Amino acid sequence: MTAIGRKVLAAVALLTVGLAPGCGDEEKQGSHQIWFMGSVYNGATGQILSANNGTAYEISLVSGTTTIRGTVDPNGRYTLGPLQAWNDYAVTISATDFRAFTSYNAGIAPPTPPPASQASDVYTANTTQTFDFDDCRIEVNGARANAVCSGTASFVPAVGSKTPRVESRRWTFQLARVGGRWIMERVESR
């Protein structure tokens, strides 16, 4: 090994040893759960799918190697979760006499950690968000589709006031059919 090679190796070894204390026990351990609730509509008729009207369905969420089956009441209202925040996931809906629908959704990157001097830290907080979709209208135009859903978002802020909040929301989902699957390209929430 040349003298330059030894110096580079020593510098890398010192950097590695110098960085090691910053890893390990300081890893953030907060629990951030997301729940989905709502109804599934027949896009052609606008009717809610439900066991009461003969169109029962199943809904499931897949994230990594975990599959979570949702519950659906006789009126067609589903509850699905929990999804750990910041993960990629897919939601699949299947019903007799309908093609299965799967939406693939990329996880949102977690926020940048605040400086150590800040007392509140979203990473160590335990949070739950619930999205309740009351109405969704889907328009399909060839290999493109738009879904507009209204409902509420329920949550307790991770930073600041810990007062639970329920806010009306309207979500717009832009989808594209790629290789036989519907892919979510964009979501807007207002």
Q: Does domain 29-108+125-189 have CATH number 2.60.40.1120?
A: yes
Other C-beta atoms closer than 10 Å to the C-beta of 40 total 21
Please tell me the number of Cα atoms within 13 Å of 11 on its side-chain side: 6
Residue 136 confidence class, pLDDT cut points 50, 70, 90: confident
**What is the pLDDT, as a whole number, of residue 67?**
93
109-113, 136-140, 168-172, range with the lowest pLDDT? 109-113
| pLDDT tens track for 20-42 | 333 334 444 667 788 888 888 88
Terminal-to-terminal C-alpha distance of the chain: 61
DSSP state of 48: B
